[in-house]
Protein backbone atom coordinates (compact mmCIF):
# COMPACT_ATOMS: atom_id res chain seq x y z
CA UNK A 1 0.00 0.00 0.00
CA UNK A 2 1.25 3.42 -0.88
CA UNK A 3 1.65 5.31 2.34
CA UNK A 4 2.09 9.04 2.26
CA UNK A 5 2.05 9.21 -1.50
CA UNK A 6 0.64 11.96 -3.63
CA UNK A 7 -1.80 10.68 -6.27
CA UNK A 8 -0.19 11.20 -9.69
CA UNK A 9 -2.91 13.49 -11.05
CA UNK A 10 -2.63 15.79 -8.05
CA UNK A 11 1.14 15.64 -8.04
CA UNK A 12 1.26 16.67 -11.72
CA UNK A 13 -0.91 19.71 -11.03
CA UNK A 14 1.11 20.71 -8.03
CA UNK A 15 4.42 20.33 -9.85
CA UNK A 16 3.21 22.44 -12.72
CA UNK A 17 2.06 25.13 -10.32
CA UNK A 18 5.33 25.24 -8.39
CA UNK A 19 7.56 25.28 -11.47
CA UNK A 20 5.55 27.67 -13.64
CA UNK A 21 4.23 30.17 -11.14
CA UNK A 22 5.42 33.75 -11.72
CA UNK A 23 5.64 34.19 -7.95
CA UNK A 24 7.17 31.67 -5.59
CA UNK A 25 4.49 29.32 -4.30
CA UNK A 26 5.34 27.10 -1.37
CA UNK A 27 3.57 23.94 -0.34
CA UNK A 28 3.64 24.10 3.40
CA UNK A 29 1.94 21.00 4.50
CA UNK A 30 0.40 17.91 2.99
CA UNK A 31 -1.94 15.55 4.71
CA UNK A 32 -4.29 12.72 3.81
CA UNK A 33 -8.03 13.25 3.89
CA UNK A 34 -9.12 9.70 3.18
CA UNK A 35 -10.17 7.32 5.86
CA UNK A 36 -7.89 4.40 5.22
CA UNK A 37 -5.64 5.53 2.44
CA UNK A 38 -2.44 7.36 3.21
CA UNK A 39 -2.80 9.31 -0.03
CA UNK A 40 -1.94 12.95 0.48
CA UNK A 41 -4.73 14.89 -1.14
CA UNK A 42 -4.90 18.15 0.79
CA UNK A 43 -2.25 20.76 1.24
CA UNK A 44 -1.64 24.38 2.20
CA UNK A 45 -0.28 26.78 -0.35
CA UNK A 46 1.70 29.76 0.86
CA UNK A 47 1.28 32.51 -1.69
CA UNK A 48 3.07 35.84 -1.55
CA UNK A 49 0.74 38.80 -1.51
CA UNK A 50 1.39 42.42 -0.69
CA UNK A 51 4.84 41.61 0.78
CA UNK A 52 3.20 39.14 3.09
CA UNK A 53 1.95 35.62 2.72
CA UNK A 54 -1.53 34.24 2.47
CA UNK A 55 -2.24 30.63 3.20
CA UNK A 56 -4.86 28.74 1.29
CA UNK A 57 -5.85 25.15 1.86
CA UNK A 58 -6.46 23.16 -1.29
CA UNK A 59 -8.67 20.14 -0.78
CA UNK A 60 -8.53 17.38 -3.35
CA UNK A 61 -10.24 14.06 -3.00
CA UNK A 62 -7.88 11.11 -3.31
CA UNK A 63 -10.81 8.71 -3.47
CA UNK A 64 -12.10 10.49 -6.58
CA UNK A 65 -8.98 12.12 -8.03
CA UNK A 66 -10.87 13.41 -11.05
CA UNK A 67 -13.14 15.63 -8.99
CA UNK A 68 -12.44 19.34 -8.83
CA UNK A 69 -10.50 20.58 -5.81
CA UNK A 70 -11.87 22.97 -3.25
CA UNK A 71 -10.13 25.97 -1.73
CA UNK A 72 -10.45 27.27 1.82
CA UNK A 73 -9.10 30.73 2.44
CA UNK A 74 -7.50 32.04 5.60
CA UNK A 75 -9.54 32.77 8.69
CA UNK A 76 -9.24 36.53 8.20
CA UNK A 77 -10.55 36.28 4.64
CA UNK A 78 -13.85 34.66 5.41
CA UNK A 79 -15.69 37.28 3.42
CA UNK A 80 -13.68 36.66 0.28
CA UNK A 81 -16.17 35.00 -2.08
CA UNK A 82 -14.37 34.97 -5.40
CA UNK A 83 -17.18 33.65 -7.56
CA UNK A 84 -20.18 35.30 -5.96
CA UNK A 85 -20.18 38.51 -7.93
CA UNK A 86 -19.95 36.68 -11.23
CA UNK A 87 -23.62 35.80 -11.51
CA UNK A 88 -24.92 38.65 -13.61
CA UNK A 89 -21.69 40.43 -14.34
CA UNK A 90 -20.91 41.30 -17.92
CA UNK A 91 -17.43 39.84 -17.71
CA UNK A 92 -18.76 36.47 -16.64
CA UNK A 93 -17.61 35.00 -19.93
CA UNK A 94 -13.98 35.82 -19.47
CA UNK A 95 -14.05 35.09 -15.75
CA UNK A 96 -15.95 31.95 -15.05
CA UNK A 97 -15.50 29.67 -12.14
CA UNK A 98 -12.90 27.15 -13.34
CA UNK A 99 -14.10 24.65 -10.75
CA UNK A 100 -17.34 24.10 -12.64
CA UNK A 101 -15.70 22.48 -15.65
CA UNK A 102 -12.65 21.01 -14.04
CA UNK A 103 -10.38 18.61 -15.87
CA UNK A 104 -7.87 17.00 -13.58
CA UNK A 105 -5.99 15.42 -16.46
CA UNK A 106 -4.86 18.86 -17.53
CA UNK A 107 -1.87 19.65 -15.29
CA UNK A 108 -2.18 23.41 -15.84
CA UNK A 109 -5.57 23.69 -14.13
CA UNK A 110 -4.44 24.25 -10.55
CA UNK A 111 -1.89 26.76 -11.80
CA UNK A 112 -4.51 28.84 -13.61
CA UNK A 113 -6.93 28.51 -10.70
CA UNK A 114 -4.39 29.85 -8.21
CA UNK A 115 -3.40 32.66 -10.56
CA UNK A 116 -7.01 33.64 -11.08
CA UNK A 117 -7.86 33.44 -7.40
CA UNK A 118 -4.88 35.61 -6.55
CA UNK A 119 -6.04 38.25 -9.04
CA UNK A 120 -9.53 38.12 -7.55
CA UNK A 121 -8.08 38.36 -4.08
CA UNK A 122 -6.08 41.40 -5.14
CA UNK A 123 -9.24 43.04 -6.43
CA UNK A 124 -11.09 42.08 -3.24
CA UNK A 125 -8.44 43.68 -1.01
CA UNK A 126 -8.36 46.76 -3.23
CA UNK A 127 -12.09 47.12 -2.89
CA UNK A 128 -11.82 46.79 0.88
CA UNK A 129 -9.13 49.44 1.05
CA UNK A 130 -11.12 51.79 -1.16
CA UNK A 131 -14.09 51.45 1.13
CA UNK A 132 -12.08 52.70 4.11
CA UNK A 133 -13.39 56.07 5.18
CA UNK A 134 -10.16 58.06 5.42
CA UNK A 135 -9.62 61.23 3.39
CA UNK A 136 -5.88 60.98 3.22
CA UNK A 137 -6.00 57.37 2.14
CA UNK A 138 -8.51 58.18 -0.58
CA UNK A 139 -6.21 60.88 -1.84
CA UNK A 140 -3.15 58.64 -1.80
CA UNK A 141 -4.98 55.90 -3.68
CA UNK A 142 -6.21 58.32 -6.32
CA UNK A 143 -2.72 59.67 -6.98
CA UNK A 144 -0.94 56.34 -6.85
CA UNK A 145 -3.28 54.35 -9.03
CA UNK A 146 -1.49 55.25 -12.23
CA UNK A 147 1.35 53.01 -11.10
CA UNK A 148 1.02 49.46 -12.20
CA UNK A 149 1.17 46.45 -9.98
CA UNK A 150 0.38 48.07 -6.65
CA UNK A 151 -0.99 45.58 -4.18
CA UNK A 152 -2.83 46.66 -1.08
CA UNK A 153 -4.48 45.07 1.87
CA UNK A 154 -6.47 46.06 4.88
CA UNK A 155 -5.40 44.43 8.09
CA UNK A 156 -8.31 43.92 10.40
CA UNK A 157 -7.00 42.41 13.56
CA UNK A 158 -9.23 42.75 16.55
CA UNK A 159 -6.41 43.55 18.95
CA UNK A 160 -4.64 45.99 16.62
CA UNK A 161 -5.80 49.27 15.09
CA UNK A 162 -6.77 49.09 11.44
CA UNK A 163 -3.97 49.61 8.98
CA UNK A 164 -3.74 49.80 5.24
CA UNK A 165 -0.68 48.29 3.66
CA UNK A 166 0.57 49.09 0.17
CA UNK A 167 3.24 47.26 -1.75
CA UNK A 168 4.49 49.70 -4.36
CA UNK A 169 6.79 48.19 -6.98
CA UNK A 170 9.67 50.56 -7.61
CA UNK A 171 11.70 51.20 -10.76
CA UNK A 172 10.71 50.09 -14.17
CA UNK A 173 14.01 48.27 -14.60
CA UNK A 174 14.32 44.66 -15.57
CA UNK A 175 16.82 43.66 -12.93
CA UNK A 176 17.05 40.13 -14.29
CA UNK A 177 18.39 41.50 -17.57
CA UNK A 178 20.70 44.00 -15.94
CA UNK A 179 22.62 41.24 -14.20
CA UNK A 180 24.11 39.22 -17.03
CA UNK A 181 24.00 35.47 -16.65
CA UNK A 182 21.74 35.48 -13.61
CA UNK A 183 19.83 32.29 -13.00
CA UNK A 184 16.90 33.89 -11.16
CA UNK A 185 13.67 32.08 -11.84
CA UNK A 186 11.40 34.89 -10.70
CA UNK A 187 11.46 38.53 -11.69
CA UNK A 188 13.51 40.46 -9.15
CA UNK A 189 11.79 43.54 -7.83
CA UNK A 190 12.19 46.13 -5.12
CA UNK A 191 9.07 47.27 -3.33
CA UNK A 192 8.29 50.04 -0.96
CA UNK A 193 6.06 48.89 1.83
CA UNK A 194 3.87 51.73 3.05
CA UNK A 195 1.65 51.27 6.07
CA UNK A 196 -0.95 53.90 6.88
CA UNK A 197 -2.82 53.87 10.13
CA UNK A 198 -6.50 54.36 9.42
CA UNK A 199 -7.55 57.67 10.91
CA UNK A 200 -11.11 58.07 9.68
CA UNK A 201 -10.91 61.73 10.63
CA UNK A 202 -9.30 64.46 8.66
CA UNK A 203 -6.30 65.96 10.39
CA UNK A 204 -4.14 68.77 9.03
CA UNK A 205 -0.86 67.09 9.89
CA UNK A 206 -1.25 63.36 9.45
CA UNK A 207 1.57 61.26 10.79
CA UNK A 208 4.10 59.81 8.41
CA UNK A 209 3.34 56.35 7.14
CA UNK A 210 5.63 53.51 8.11
CA UNK A 211 8.02 52.96 5.23
CA UNK A 212 10.19 49.98 4.52
CA UNK A 213 12.10 48.84 1.50
CA UNK A 214 11.64 45.20 0.61
CA UNK A 215 13.34 43.26 -2.14
CA UNK A 216 13.00 39.78 -3.45
CA UNK A 217 15.42 37.64 -1.38
CA UNK A 218 17.67 36.58 -4.26
CA UNK A 219 18.53 40.20 -5.00
CA UNK A 220 20.71 40.28 -1.88
CA UNK A 221 23.55 38.82 -3.92
CA UNK A 222 23.77 42.05 -5.91
CA UNK A 223 22.22 44.81 -3.89
CA UNK A 224 21.47 44.98 -0.22
CA UNK A 225 18.47 47.12 0.60
CA UNK A 226 19.59 47.20 4.23
CA UNK A 227 22.41 49.51 3.14
CA UNK A 228 19.99 51.90 1.50
CA UNK A 229 18.84 54.87 3.53
CA UNK A 230 15.31 55.99 2.78
CA UNK A 231 14.90 59.70 2.13
CA UNK A 232 13.14 61.56 4.91
CA UNK A 233 9.37 61.91 4.86
CA UNK A 234 8.49 65.58 5.20
CA UNK A 235 5.37 66.79 6.92
CA UNK A 236 2.38 67.02 4.68
CA UNK A 237 4.03 64.92 2.00
CA UNK A 238 2.19 62.42 -0.14
CA UNK A 239 3.33 59.31 -1.92
CA UNK A 240 3.25 60.87 -5.34
CA UNK A 241 5.87 63.39 -4.17
CA UNK A 242 7.96 60.90 -2.27
CA UNK A 243 8.32 58.15 -4.82
CA UNK A 244 10.20 59.97 -7.63
CA UNK A 245 13.08 61.02 -5.35
CA UNK A 246 13.24 57.58 -3.84
CA UNK A 247 13.32 55.93 -7.24
CA UNK A 248 16.01 58.26 -8.49
CA UNK A 249 18.27 57.46 -5.56
CA UNK A 250 17.56 53.79 -5.80
CA UNK A 251 18.23 53.65 -9.51
CA UNK A 252 21.67 55.23 -9.21
CA UNK A 253 22.60 52.89 -6.37
CA UNK A 254 21.44 49.85 -8.28
CA UNK A 255 23.43 50.92 -11.29
CA UNK A 256 26.45 51.22 -9.02
CA UNK A 257 25.76 47.80 -7.61
CA UNK A 258 25.54 46.29 -11.08
CA UNK A 259 28.78 47.97 -12.17
CA UNK A 260 30.36 46.72 -8.96
CA UNK A 261 29.88 43.20 -10.29
CA UNK A 262 32.21 44.09 -13.13
CA UNK A 263 34.92 45.48 -10.88
CA UNK A 264 34.69 42.37 -8.73
CA UNK A 265 35.08 40.22 -11.83
CA UNK A 266 38.13 42.24 -12.79
CA UNK A 267 39.68 41.62 -9.38
CA UNK A 268 39.17 37.87 -9.68
CA UNK A 269 40.74 37.99 -13.14
CA UNK A 270 43.67 40.01 -11.80
CA UNK A 271 44.22 37.48 -9.02
CA UNK A 272 44.41 34.59 -11.49
CA UNK A 273 47.92 35.34 -12.89
CA UNK A 274 49.29 35.46 -9.34
CA UNK A 275 47.49 32.52 -7.74
CA UNK A 276 46.64 30.49 -10.80
CA UNK A 277 43.15 29.75 -12.09
CA UNK A 278 40.58 29.83 -9.29
CA UNK A 279 39.44 26.41 -8.07
CA UNK A 280 35.98 27.82 -7.59
CA UNK A 281 34.45 31.20 -8.42
CA UNK A 282 31.01 32.76 -8.48
CA UNK A 283 30.65 33.63 -12.16
CA UNK A 284 27.41 35.64 -11.93
CA UNK A 285 27.76 37.97 -8.97
CA UNK A 286 31.55 37.51 -8.50
CA UNK A 287 31.22 37.53 -4.73
CA UNK A 288 33.49 34.57 -4.02
CA UNK A 289 36.60 32.97 -5.42
CA UNK A 290 38.82 30.21 -4.11
CA UNK A 291 42.40 29.64 -5.20
CA UNK A 292 44.74 26.75 -4.55
CA UNK A 293 48.17 27.96 -3.48
CA UNK A 294 51.34 26.60 -1.92
CA UNK A 295 54.37 27.74 -0.04
CA UNK A 296 57.08 25.12 -0.36
CA UNK A 297 55.31 21.85 0.44
CA UNK A 298 52.52 23.52 2.38
CA UNK A 299 49.40 23.58 0.18
CA UNK A 300 46.37 25.60 1.16
CA UNK A 301 43.25 27.20 -0.21
CA UNK A 302 42.67 30.95 -0.25
CA UNK A 303 38.99 31.96 0.05
CA UNK A 304 38.37 35.48 -1.19
CA UNK A 305 34.98 37.00 -0.30
CA UNK A 306 34.33 40.24 -2.13
CA UNK A 307 31.78 42.54 -0.48
CA UNK A 308 28.95 44.38 -2.26
CA UNK A 309 30.68 47.71 -1.58
CA UNK A 310 33.83 46.69 -3.43
CA UNK A 311 36.13 48.54 -4.05
CA UNK A 312 35.19 50.80 -1.12
CA UNK A 313 35.42 47.82 1.17
CA UNK A 314 38.26 45.40 0.76
CA UNK A 315 37.78 41.67 0.22
CA UNK A 316 38.03 39.43 3.26
CA UNK A 317 40.48 36.57 3.08
CA UNK A 318 40.54 33.17 4.73
CA UNK A 319 43.08 30.40 4.46
CA UNK A 320 42.26 26.72 4.64
CA UNK A 321 44.91 24.06 4.92
CA UNK A 322 44.85 21.05 2.60
CA UNK A 323 47.13 19.05 4.89
CA UNK A 324 46.05 19.76 8.44
CA UNK A 325 42.87 18.47 9.94
CA UNK A 326 41.46 18.80 13.41
CA UNK A 327 40.31 15.86 15.53
CA UNK A 328 36.94 15.80 13.71
CA UNK A 329 38.65 15.50 10.35
CA UNK A 330 37.71 19.03 9.30
CA UNK A 331 40.40 21.06 7.53
CA UNK A 332 41.89 23.78 9.71
CA UNK A 333 40.93 27.29 8.67
CA UNK A 334 42.36 30.67 9.57
CA UNK A 335 40.29 33.54 10.90
CA UNK A 336 38.71 35.90 8.37
CA UNK A 337 41.13 38.72 7.81
CA UNK A 338 40.73 42.16 6.30
CA UNK A 339 43.75 43.66 8.00
CA UNK A 340 45.98 44.32 5.09
CA UNK A 341 46.81 47.56 3.28
CA UNK A 342 44.02 48.79 1.07
CA UNK A 343 42.94 51.79 -0.92
CA UNK A 344 39.90 51.92 -3.18
CA UNK A 345 41.80 54.20 -5.53
CA UNK A 346 44.40 51.59 -6.44
CA UNK A 347 44.43 49.89 -9.77
CA UNK A 348 42.87 46.42 -9.81
CA UNK A 349 46.22 44.78 -10.55
CA UNK A 350 47.70 46.70 -7.61
CA UNK A 351 44.95 45.38 -5.34
CA UNK A 352 45.65 41.82 -6.51
CA UNK A 353 49.36 42.22 -5.90
CA UNK A 354 48.78 43.58 -2.38
CA UNK A 355 46.54 40.63 -1.60
CA UNK A 356 49.14 38.25 -2.96
CA UNK A 357 51.92 39.91 -0.89
CA UNK A 358 49.78 39.67 2.22
CA UNK A 359 49.09 35.99 1.64
CA UNK A 360 52.81 35.26 1.06
CA UNK A 361 53.50 36.55 4.60
CA UNK A 362 50.34 35.28 6.17
CA UNK A 363 50.68 31.69 4.96
CA UNK A 364 53.78 31.19 7.09
CA UNK A 365 51.90 32.26 10.20
CA UNK A 366 49.04 30.04 9.18
CA UNK A 367 51.37 27.06 8.70
CA UNK A 368 52.73 27.59 12.20
CA UNK A 369 49.22 27.88 13.56
CA UNK A 370 48.24 24.62 11.85
CA UNK A 371 51.22 22.71 13.18
CA UNK A 372 50.57 24.01 16.70
CA UNK A 373 46.95 23.04 16.75
CA UNK A 374 47.81 19.57 15.48
CA UNK A 375 50.35 19.20 18.29
CA UNK A 376 47.84 20.39 20.85
CA UNK A 377 45.35 17.80 19.75
CA UNK A 378 47.79 14.97 20.26
Helix (H) or strand (E) holding 59: strand 52-59
Binding mask of the shown chain, residues 340 to 369, with x at each position contacting another protein by CB under 8 A? ------------------------------
Tell the smallest beta-carbon distance from residue 39 to another protein (Å): 10
Binding mask of the shown chain, residues 233 to 272, with x at each position contacting another protein by CB under 8 A? ----------------------------------------
Binding mask of the shown chain, residues 74 to 93, with x at each position contacting another protein by CB under 8 A? -x--xx-xxxx---------
Q: Based on the shown chain and the rule CB under 8 A, indicate whether residue 73 belongs to the binding site for another protein.
A: yes
Tell the smallest beta-carbon distance from residue 2 to another protein (Å): 15
State the Cα–Cα distance between residues 356 and 173, nearest whole angstrom. 38
- Of 49, 81, 238, nearest in space to 149 by CA: 49
Stretch that binds another protein, among 56-64, 148-156, 300-308, 355-363 (CB under 8 A): 56-64
Tell the smallest beta-carbon distance from residue 112 to another protein (Å): 14
- Of 335, 340, 338, 302, nearest in space to 321 by CA: 302
Tell the smallest beta-carbon distance from residue 13 to another protein (Å): 16
Binding residues for another protein, how many (CB under 8 A)? 30
Instruction: Choose between 102 and 298: whose C-beta lies nearer to another protein.
Output: 102
State the Cα–Cα distance between residues 215 and 226, nearest whole angstrom. 10
Residues contacting 163, CB < 8 A, separation 6+:
154, 155, 195, 196, 197, 198
Count of other CB atoms within 10 angstroms of residue 55: 16
Q: Based on the shown chain and the rule CB under 8 A, indicate whether residue 42 belongs to the binding site for another protein.
A: yes
What's the CA dihedral at 229, 344, 179, 301 to 10 degrees? -120
Tell the smallest beta-carbon distance from residue 100 to another protein (Å): 9
- Of 295, 330, 299, 300, nearest in space to 317 by CA: 300
Interface residues with another protein (CB under 8 A)?
31-37, 42, 57, 59, 61-64, 66-68, 70-73, 75, 78-79, 81-84, 97, 99
Amino acid sequence: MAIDAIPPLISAQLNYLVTHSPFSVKVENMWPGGKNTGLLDRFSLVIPFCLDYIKWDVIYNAVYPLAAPDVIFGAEDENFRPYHALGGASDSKSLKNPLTDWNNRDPTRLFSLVLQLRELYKAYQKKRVEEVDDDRLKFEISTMLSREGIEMSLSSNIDKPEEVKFAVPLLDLDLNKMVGGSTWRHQQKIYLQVIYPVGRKYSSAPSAPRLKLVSSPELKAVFSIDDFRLPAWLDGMCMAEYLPTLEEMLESQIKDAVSSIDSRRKLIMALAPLFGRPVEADPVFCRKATFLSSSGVFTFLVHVAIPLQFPKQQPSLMLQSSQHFNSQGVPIKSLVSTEYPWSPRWDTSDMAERIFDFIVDECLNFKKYCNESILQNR
